[in-house]
Amino acid sequence: MDRRGIKSNFLTTTVESAINWSRKNSLWPMPFGTACCGVELMAVLAARSDIARFGAEAIRFSPRQSDLLIVAGRITIKMMPVLQRIYEQMPEPKWVISMGACASSGGVFDTYSVIQGIDQFIPVDIYVPGCPPRPEGILDGLMKLQKLIEKEKISDYSHPHSN
Amino acid sequence: MLFQNLITKVTERFSDSILDTTEFRGETVLHIKGECVLEVLEMLKSEGFHFLADLTAVDNLEMGGFERYTVVYHLLNHGNGERLVVKAYIPENNPNLPSVESLWRTADWQEREVYDLFGITFDGHPNLIRIMNPDDFKGHPLRKDYPRIGKGERKDFPIVERNIGTKFRRSES
């Protein structure tokens, strides 16, 4: 076998797994913190829990620059159109974590003004239970999301109207 | 002026609009008719109660009281630390009061809050619009006859779908 063209080490993979590997290890979260969960989310970013170990420390407060929406806190009827607009402004591929009891189900706030679960109106990939969740819970949710991203197919990302 | 003298002076001057004077945990409560609230508060302000600490409302639907709605003014005298509560009663069929925004600028937003949540209108308010609920909200949710879970407004939103990647993610998640 002629090896004259090979100058250094290399490995083989598929485009799909390489893309998924890079996507799952550099999630850029857009924090949507409306309540105490938002404070707990800050603790996940800090030194003790350190979400940077999973490559998701690049918090972007612009939906245009992020691919992971973390909804942390209760969403009211006045905030829901804002949340939907922010979700639609995020470029594909994008994922959503519903953090805590309020975002997932309304929590104890069963009143006229609080949305009883954001998944009624926007897509959600991961639900993190707790009131608020411990930092370990959020990291567990992030790792579960990474496992989801690992299994994604590029063919699913073709535009629905392209063929 | 001594506090008790002031109360006597107010009750004498507005004798036909003062409904009652009570005391609760060391604080004097002045119960008055709604239409004279501006005159009473103007006098109290000129007598030293310069500060409107709070302005809120109560719906007395099944709690008794002189009328259905009560608007509560918490006054504070910074000079000697005295506090006074003024409760103005207004009827159900015409929930309307003169605005005290001309006396205290802070009443602007607080009266808007009372209007938004109780539907009580304030004559002479410069900008009486909703402050908390969305602008197109119907009803006044802190009234006791408004259902706690609302009238369907929390379900009234468009559903945003995933536009790509649906096949995989629906089956897995």
Do A95 and B168 meet the contact criterion of CB atoms below 8 Å apart?
no
How far does CA B89 lie from the centroid of its chain? 11
Convert A1-23 to b/e letters by CB count within 10 Å (16 or more is b).
eeeeeeeeeeeeeeeeeebbeeb
- Using an 8 Å CB-CB cutoff, list chain B residues near A126: 173
pLDDT of residue A42: 92
- Using an 8 Å CB-CB cutoff, list chain B residues near A115: 154, 157
pLDDT of residue A159: 56
Which residues touch A44 (CB under 8 Å, ≥6 apart)? Answer: A51, A135, A138, A139
Kindly report the nearest CA distance between residue B139 and chain A, in angstroms: 11
**pLDDT under 50 in chain B at which residues?**
167-173
Using pLDDT thresholds of 50, 70 and 90, give the confidence band for residue A160.
Answer: low
Rounded Cα distance, B69 and B66, in Å: 9
Rounded Cα distance, B89 and B58, in Å: 10
pLDDT of residue A12: 85
Judged by CB atoms closer than 8 Å, whether chains meet at B148 and A81 is answered as no
pLDDT of residue A9: 77
Handedness of CA A27, A28, A32, A36 (dihedral sign): positive
Rounded Cα distance, A6 and B134, in Å: 65
| B131 backbone dihedrals φ, ψ, rounded to 5° | -120, -25
Substitution target in B155, B164, B166 with the highest count of A β-carbons within 10 Å is B164
Is A8 within 8 Å of chain B by CB? no
Is B153 within 8 Å of chain A by CB? yes
Is B172 within 8 Å of chain A by CB? yes
Kindly report the nearest CA distance between residue A115 and chain B, in angstroms: 6
pLDDT of residue A161: 53
How far does CA B108 lie from the centroid of its chain? 11
Using pLDDT thresholds of 50, 70 and 90, give the confidence band for residue A155.
Answer: confident
- The strand ranges marked E within chain A are 29-33, 68-72, 95-99, 126-128
What integer is the mean pLDDT of A53-62?
A: 90
Of the partner residues B141, B166, B169, the one whose CB lies closest to the CB of residue A125: B169
pLDDT of residue A163: 43
**Entry pTM:** 0.83
Residue located via tokens 């590029």: A154
- Using an 8 Å CB-CB cutoff, list chain A residues near B157: 77, 80-81, 84, 115, 120-121
Is A120 within 8 Å of chain B by CB? yes
Strand arrangement of the beta sheet that strand A126-128 belongs to: A29-33, A68-72, A95-99, A126-128
- Using an 8 Å CB-CB cutoff, list chain B residues near A109: none
Kindly report the nearest CA distance between residue B145 and chain A, in angstroms: 13
Using pLDDT thresholds of 50, 70 and 90, give the confidence band for residue A133.
Answer: very high
Do B8 and B64 meet the contact criterion of CB atoms below 8 Å apart?
no
Q: Is B131 exposed, middle or buried (0-12, 13-18, 19+ CB in 10 A)?
A: middle
Do B77 and B27 meet the contact criterion of CB atoms below 8 Å apart?
no
Do B79 and B100 meet the contact criterion of CB atoms below 8 Å apart?
no
